[in-house]
Amino acid sequence: MDVMSEKVISDYNGYDYKKDFWENVDREYEDQADRMAIRKLLPKRMEKFADIGGGYGRLANEYLKRARKVYIFDYSKTELKQAKEIYGDKLETKAGDIYELPFKDGELDGLMMVRVTHHLKNLKKAVDELYRVLKPGGVAVIEVANKRTLPKMARFITGRSKVNPFDKKVANYKEIDKDGFYNYHPKYVEEIFDKVGFKREKVLSVSNFRSRGLKKVLKTKNLVKMENSAQQILAPIRFAPSIYYKLRKPEE
């Protein structure tokens, strides 16, 4: 295996992700959908918690009051610098490689990883690391970029896309990102979680109404209201762009 090819899929150093991706584009609905899911899944009390791939801390206000010690881990030092500028001593930042996390075995009570999996060439290796750094009984909330969405099904059926959303093969959309942009079938991901040893406690379907057309017609406020009930109701179908998993490392 070419280990170096796993090291960095998307390097955000020097890129203002906060401004260019979130603030300058209408993504309020997606942001609120993420926050809604996190509030439902994260434990209310933790000692040590890490936001893996947390960047500048977009979602930090959702977990800062839940943990005594908070870390944001990311490869991008640009984003970690922003996080410290925003939150100061409320959290600690750690830079590094997701395949070699800078935490001790069993160090964390909880962690989350949101909007990261689409950059991971070796999802299994990353999940192994998340499992390693969690203590027995610890909780991981992981968001996965889903290849099995209704729009992707429609494009495949009508011949507009060669990516088959029904099989478990990992989809790599290089037209989106030359370094790789990965989407996963839910069954493929769940088999990895099971194999690593995680126990699945809850699943949510998130960003169910992610559509420019819907945003124009229904407006963000109404989409957010619809999202709240849809996250659990639609979870068994697993067809949203983001699938959230609450996973627990078994007690020894």
Q: Is the pLDDT of residue 10 over 70?
A: no
Task: Output the six-digit token pair for 235.
Answer: 């979870």
* Residues shown for the chain: 252
Tell me how far CA of residue 136 lies from CA of 24, 46, 66, 199, 246, in angstroms.
41, 13, 19, 11, 15
Helix (H/G/I), strand (E/B), else coil: 82: helix
Work out whether strand 108-113 and strand 46-52 pair parallel, antiparallel, or are unpaired: parallel
- What pLDDT does 175 receive? 72
Contacts of 20 (CB under 8 A, 6+ apart): none
pLDDT tens for 23-80 read 778 899 999 999 999 999 999 999 999 999 999 999 999 999 999 999 999 999 999 9
H/E/C letters for each residue in 124-169?
HHHHHHHHHHEEEEEEEEEEEEECCCHHHHHHHHCCCCCCCCCCCC
| Contact between 45 and 24 (Cβ < 8 Å) | no
pLDDT tens for 153-203 read 999 999 999 999 999 999 988 776 667 789 999 999 999 999 999 999 999
> At which residue do the structure tokens 């908070």 appear?
70
- What pLDDT does 155 receive? 93
Q: Is the pLDDT of residue 14 over 80?
A: no
Residue ranges per structural domain of the chain: 33-248
- What pLDDT does 140 receive? 98
Give 216-220's long-range contacts (Cβ < 8 A, gap of 24+).
220/26, 220/28, 220/29, 220/32
Count of Cβ atoms closer than 10 Å to residue 166 Cβ:
12
Q: What is the mean pLDDT of the segment spanning 241-251?
A: 97
Amino acid at 238: R
- The domain made up of 33-248 is a member of CATH 3.40.50.150: yes
| Contact between 243 and 203 (Cβ < 8 Å) | yes
Please report which helix (H) or strand (E) contains residue 73, including its range: strand 67-74
- What pLDDT does 4 receive? 34
Looking at the chain, the whole-number percentage of residues with pLDDT higher than 90 is: 81
- What pLDDT does 30 receive? 95
Q: Is the pLDDT of residue 116 over 60?
A: yes
| Contact between 74 and 243 (Cβ < 8 Å) | no
pLDDT tens for 217-236 read 898 999 999 999 999 999 99
The residue ranking higher by pLDDT, 64 or 214, is 64
Count of Cβ atoms closer than 10 Å to residue 196 Cβ:
16
Determine if the pTM surpasses 0.85: yes
Q: Is the pLDDT of residue 114 over 70?
A: yes
Contacts of 89 (CB under 8 A, 6+ apart): none
